[in-house]
Amino acid sequence: MSELNLSTPAHVWAYLNRVVEGPSHTLSALLAQYPAEEIAHGIYNAADWLGPLAALTASRRDWLRQEVDLAAAERVGARIISSDSPEWPLQQFSQAFGFYRSGQSSAPATFDDQAASPHSLWVRGGNLAVELSQALALVGTRAISRYGWDATRLIAGGLAARQWTIVSGGALGVDTAAHSAAIEQGGRTVAVAACGIDRSYPARNQGLFDKIAHNGCVVSEFAPGTVPKRHRFLTRNRLVAAMSEGVVVVEAGFRSGALNTLNWAEALGKVAMAVPGPVTTAGSLGAHLRIQEGRAQLVTSADEIRALVGKAGSLDPGGQYELDYAPSPLQRLSRNELRVFDSTPLEDADTAASAEEIAGEARLSVALTIHLLVTLEKAGLVARAGTQWRRAGNY
């Protein structure tokens, strides 16, 4: 048996990613107590202190493919990231899987094994945390109709124009329409794959994946070379929901796999939404049933979706406390607006800052930062002088 290479974090996580196919509650529990390098060393040496993980990895512990996996990822311009990486979407995963663990979720018990945050991700493209700072998922049938194609593109394009990143699964049909519309609108999009980052599935979308990598990210939880299988699509669906503030399903039949992603939206505390379809076909029956059951909000436009997702903290706008204690201008801000405001120099600071500098400090995309700075300027909270920005007044 050759030696285990733990010389870099990438080597450590490439080994763990290969020998423990996520999600794994057992590995999550150990990572809360031990460094990843120590766990990797323990797995390789079948250490007793690993508990159940030793048995789970017994048949894989000598799969020393770190160099091969890292080289395969590098060939397609990808890298591996983990929870200690600056671009890890910690807030999204913490909120999603924290909600599930809180007991507020009404998900079936069959979700329990899958309801865990990923331990590492292979990423091709931009900074994942930045891309997901304001994101919505669009999913639906592969057997898309002309109506579904037009509806998906209308909604995805409208959201992208408002600086929302479109998250989907890269499949044919609704996924392809959503990714393509976001790119054509000059927006950002993220594809979550159910196979290795070095594979293009479906193969006919290889060109689309290249465009996504230049206008967002392609992401995979699975080691390079991993082939798509049915259970991996179900595993992938939880990440599509977890990475987004809400999930919209377009054209889903009675047994459509897209409804599984909508199930995960409910399980992870996301806004579940569905677009109504023609009553002359069965292509939207699954979506219609979710609306009838009250498990998905009916939406017909990007603006309706944005209104439903809303600002953080505005879940009860009609509450008496809101009437008695009106929020200050800062308290009315969404999470991303507040991130931009907090990253903007004070009014009396020695120097102002450019939108690019503010975006870097806020860890948001430049386009989204400019969009939010203009919003804050209209609210009288920041002021612009040329290309430089400062806060306005005593806020």
Sign of the CA dihedral running 5, 11, 15, 16: positive
Domain ranges of the chain: 1-64, 99-309, 320-391
The CATH architecture annotation of domain 320-391 reads Orthogonal Bundle (1.10)
Q: Residue 307 class from Cβ within 10 Å (0-12 exposed, 13-18 middle, 19+ buried)?
A: exposed
How many residues in the chain? 395
Mean pLDDT confidence for 13-39: 95
Mean pLDDT confidence for 101-116: 85
Partners of 139 in the β-ladder: 249
Residue 395's pLDDT band, with cuts at 50, 70 and 90, is low
Q: What's the pLDDT score for residue 327? A: 59
Distance separating alpha carbons of residues 196 and 232, to the nearest angstrom: 11
Peptide bond into 23 cis (omega under 30): yes
Local structure of residue 389 (DSSP, 8 states): E
Q: What's the pLDDT score for residue 223? A: 97
Mean pLDDT confidence for 293-320: 74
Is residue 316 over pLDDT 60? no
b/e per residue 244-262 (b: at least 16 CB within 10 A): bbbbbbbbbbeebbbbbbb
Is residue 320 over pLDDT 90? no
Q: What's the pLDDT score for residue 313? A: 36
Question: What is the CATH number that goes with domain 99-309?
Answer: 3.40.50.450
Of 35-44, 249-258, 323-332, 353-362, give the range with the top mean pLDDT.
35-44
Is residue 174 over pLDDT 80? yes
In this predicted model, which residue has the larger pLDDT, 239 or 394?
Answer: 239
Residue 196's pLDDT band, with cuts at 50, 70 and 90, is very high
Q: Cβ of 243: how many Cβ atoms within 10 Å?
A: 25
